[in-house]
Structure 1
C-alpha cells in the first residue's frame, strides 16, 4: 500500500542534487500559483508527463544499441508518461487555463524536456531520483488541494467526462474523487522511481512500509 506521508531523505551527492533541483521547482510553483491548485496542476502535469517519455525513448535506444531486452522498463516509463498526460487533460477541463498559462505550458515543457534529457543521458539514477522527489511534492500539493475542497474554499465541481472514463469513476463523481485518484497515481510514480534509482545504483531497494532488501544491479538499465 502506498504511504501518503513517505518522504525520502537525500543520501548521496546525486540525491542532494536531485532534491535541490526539485525544491527550486517547488519554490517557483508556490510563488506563482499559491493556492490556485487547478492551474498549478495544469502546468506541473505538463512537466510531469515529460520524464516517462524521455526515459522510455532513451531506454529504447539503449536496448537497440546493446541488443538486449529492456526488462520491461520502456513500457513502464511510457505508461507513466501516458498517465501523467491524462492528468493534464483532466485538469485542463477543470481549470481552463488562460492564454498566458498556455504559454507557460509551452515554455515549461520546452525547458524541462531539454534539461531532463541531458540529465537522463548523463545519469539515469539522478533522473529517476528527480522524478521521485518531484512526485513527493506532487503528493503534498494534491493533499493540500483536497484540504481546500474539504473546507469549502474550492468548489467540489462535477468530474469531467475524460476523468470518469479514464479512472472508471461513477457518473456522479466530483472533483474530490478525481484528486484522490490522481494523488494515488502520483504515490505510485514516486515509489517506483525511487525503486528504479535504487536498482540503477545496485543498492538496497527501499519501499515505503517494507523492509530493506538487496537488489541485483540490472544487466540492462545501467549507465
Structure 2
C-alpha cells in the first residue's frame, strides 16, 4: 500500500518522516498556505458556529483540506492506502503498515485507525468509533482507507466542508457518511512534542441565541 503523509512542509518533520520511510513508497500531501486558510476561516466562521460554539480555525481547515487532498489521491490511485500526519510517532517498525494483516483490516473496514486509542471497546478486535459513548473523535494520525470510502468522504466533504474539525467530523456517521473503525493493530501515537497543524489558535466563540438553537438542532440531526 502507498502511504500519504500530510504535512505543512516543516523541515524537521519532513526529515523525520523520510527517515521512517527510507525504503517505503510514500508521498507528501502539503497543507495550503496559511494566508489562504485565514481567508477560509473567515468564510466558514458563520457556518461552523451552527455546529459548535467555537468557530473552526484556519489550522483546523488546513488539516481538513489536506485530508481531502489525500482522499482524492487515493481515489486516483485506485487502491487501498495509508494516510498519516507528520507529527506521528511509531511504536513499532513502520513497515508493518505494508503487512497483509493491515491490508486485510483496511479492506474489511473501509476506514480504520491504526494509532493508539484509550477507549478500547473490544480488546483484541476492532470496533466502530461511533459506538464509543463518550463521543471521542476519530484519530487521524494514522489510518487506512479504500478508494470507495475515500469517494464517500470526498463527496460529503466537498458538499458541506469545514463544519467541524476533521477528527470530529469523521466520528459522526450521519455527517461523513462512513463508519470509522478502530483496529486492534496499534502502530503509532501522536508525538507529544509536536503540535497538530490544527492547533494554532483558539476559534472565535458565538453567543448568538439563534446559533445556539441551530447547534442543538444539528446535534439532534447528526447525533454528535
TM-score normalised over the length of structure 1? 0.28
Which structure has the highest helix share of the two? Answer: 1
**Higher RCO, Cα 8 Å, sep 6+:** 2
TM-score normalised over the length of structure 2? 0.28
